[in-house]
């Protein structure tokens, strides 16, 4: 298809690029933006699910059980390709190329922001990859849903989030549902559970730290592509040092470093797996640029369901009725939290009243008259239910404006709104497919 970039004004007078498919019939041309968003959402869900399943396949005692080494390969591969992409298309890195969005990459940003985040990222990646050796994809994915509650709790402790009983009650539901999924696990491994738990603690700490530190001196945040270009080489450095040091203390027959024979045997898989990790970065960045808050969040919820389903169907992982019920409650609570964060005015008279309004009338239109579910949006992905629109608070409160991709007030950081890869996790892309959705 012949794709054209057309500027579209939003309610704040800003202009964003919107994709138009020029050769479509007139009836479909009106919905070309929606079709593009749906295509990007499908690519995002498929790429993320494929990468996580591929990681699980590779990180096996009979294949490539070197979790840290795989994370190191992802970090190196993403760093190199991101640099090549920057040389070819610097416009994809607005934090480095656009004067209005340029962030000064000084020593303060590097040592106080990027390096601590990269260190936490590396430890998170080592633990989360290692958990694949002991637990199923479905079980680990269900555990990750609790990240929303962990980030909220840490944000309260750091005085970056105000306590709201209604929000907290929904997150308690997420925690209880997560306990159901853990209790229902047939092949429970305490080692794998502990590794995943530590991984989530490091990840959530990284998320809160990003919200506080990973911005430029002017208060401008890094775009997703620049984030990858800055953080991933540091992750490769930390993981490389860990691999080098392992040669000194590794137990006999259990080194974190594969032999050349093993690398040669599995190099086609390692190359394809690393390419999937990088392509997910590109898809996430593009999807975030052209999708809206609701579209991005709902795609993440569908992605989680697909990941659990793929583990059950393709990897033959066991799921119990208790786990399925707990996972359903998790997704329902997260969806409710999403709507509550993005459209708080609908829920002023209660949760049931807000849900009834959404089910009967749909989501309210934005200031430009377009539904918020499809309007182009330069947004950051948050931990489900916190995506920042330009000059709008993710909670709809004018007294606490949320930062945007190009204009972030450093004194008003939303703790659930750090620079994205979630994505990874997120966000998940730059942590090698661990879709811990980065708020």
pLDDT tens per residue across span 40-97? 889 999 999 999 999 999 999 899 999 999 999 999 999 999 999 999 989 888 888 8
- pLDDT of 171 higher than 50: yes
What pLDDT is recorded for position 431? Answer: 34
Most confident of 14-28, 158-172, 321-335, 398-412: 321-335
CA angle 84, 85, 86 (to 5 degrees): 90
317 is written with which tokens? 């992982």
- pLDDT of 426 higher than 50: no
What pLDDT is recorded for position 69? Answer: 92
pLDDT tens figures, 216-260: 555 567 777 888 899 999 999 999 998 888 766 655 444 578 888
CA angle 368, 353, 416 (to 5 degrees): 60
Mean pLDDT of 297-313: 87
pLDDT tens figures, 22-33: 444 555 445 567
Q: Of 35 and 372, which is predicted with more confidence? A: 35
pLDDT band at 439 (very low <50, low <70, confident <90, very high): very low
pTM of the entire structure? 0.72
Q: Of 62 and 315, which is predicted with more confidence? A: 62
Mean pLDDT of 331-341: 87
What pLDDT is recorded for position 64? Answer: 93
Contact 362, 371 (CB under 8 A): yes
237 is written with which tokens? 């450095």
What pLDDT is recorded for position 6? Answer: 40
Lowest-confidence region among 103-107, 155-159, 359-363, 381-385: 381-385
pLDDT tens figures, 114-159: 899 999 999 999 999 999 999 999 999 999 999 889 988 988 888 8
What pLDDT is recorded for position 437? Answer: 39
pLDDT band at 419 (very low <50, low <70, confident <90, very high): very low
Q: Of 430 and 24, which is predicted with more confidence? A: 24
pLDDT tens figures, 261-302: 999 999 999 999 999 999 988 888 788 777 776 777 778 889
């Amino acid at each position: 298809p012949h794709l054209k970039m057309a500027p579209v004004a939003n309610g704040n007078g800003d202009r964003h690029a919107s994709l138009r498919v020029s050769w479509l019939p007139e009836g479909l041309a009106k919905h070309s933006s929606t079709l593009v968003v749906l295509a990007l959402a499908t690519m995002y869900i498929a790429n993320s699910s494929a990468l996580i399943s591929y990681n699980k396949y590779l990180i096996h005692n009979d294949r490539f059980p070197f979790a840290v080494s795989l994370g190191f390969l992802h970090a190196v591969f993403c760093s190199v390709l991101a640099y090549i992409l920057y040389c070819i298309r610097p416009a994809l890195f607005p934090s480095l190329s656009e004067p209005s969005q340029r962030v000064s990459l000084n020593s303060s940003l590097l040592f106080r922001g990027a390096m601590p985040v990269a260190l936490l990222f590396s430890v998170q990646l080592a633990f989360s990859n290692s958990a694949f050796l002991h637990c199923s994809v479905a079980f680990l994915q269900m555990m990750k849903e609790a990240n929303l509650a962990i980030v909220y709790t840490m944000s309260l402790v750091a005085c970056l989030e105000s306590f709201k009983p209604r929000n907290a009650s929904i997150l308690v539901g997420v925690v209880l549902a997560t306990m159901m999924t853990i209790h229902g696990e047939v092949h429970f491994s305490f080692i794998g559970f502990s590794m995943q738990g530590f991984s989530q603690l490091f990840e959530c700490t990284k998320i809160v730290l990003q919200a506080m530190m990973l911005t430029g001196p002017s208060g401008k945040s890094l775009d997703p592509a620049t984030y990858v270009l800055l953080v991933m080489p540091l992750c490769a450095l930390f993981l490389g040092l860990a691999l080098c040091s392992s040669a000194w203390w590794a137990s006999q027959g259990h080194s974190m470093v594969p032999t050349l024979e093993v690398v040669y045997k599995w190099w086609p898989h390692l190359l394809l797996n690393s390419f999937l990790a990088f392509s997910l970065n590109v898809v996430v960045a593009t999807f975030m640029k052209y999708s809206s808050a609701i579209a991005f969040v709902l795609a993440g919820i569908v992605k989680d369901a697909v990941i659990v389903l793929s583990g059950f169907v393709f990897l033959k992982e066991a799921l119990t009725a208790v786990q399925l019920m707990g996972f359903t409650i998790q997704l329902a609570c997260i969806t409710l939290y999403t709507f509550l964060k993005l459209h708080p005015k609908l829920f002023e008279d209660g949760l049931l009243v807000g849900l009834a309004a959404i089910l009967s009338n749909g989501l309210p239109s934005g200031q430009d008259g377009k539904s918020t579910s499809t309007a182009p949006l330069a947004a950051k992905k948050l931990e489900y239910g916190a995506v920042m629109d330009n000059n709008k608070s993710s909670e709809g409160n004018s007294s606490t404006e949320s930062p945007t991709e190009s204009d972030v007030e450093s004194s008003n950081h939303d703790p659930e709104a750090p620079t994205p890869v979630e994505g990874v996790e997120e966000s998940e892309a730059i942590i090698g497919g661990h879709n811990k959705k980065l708020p």
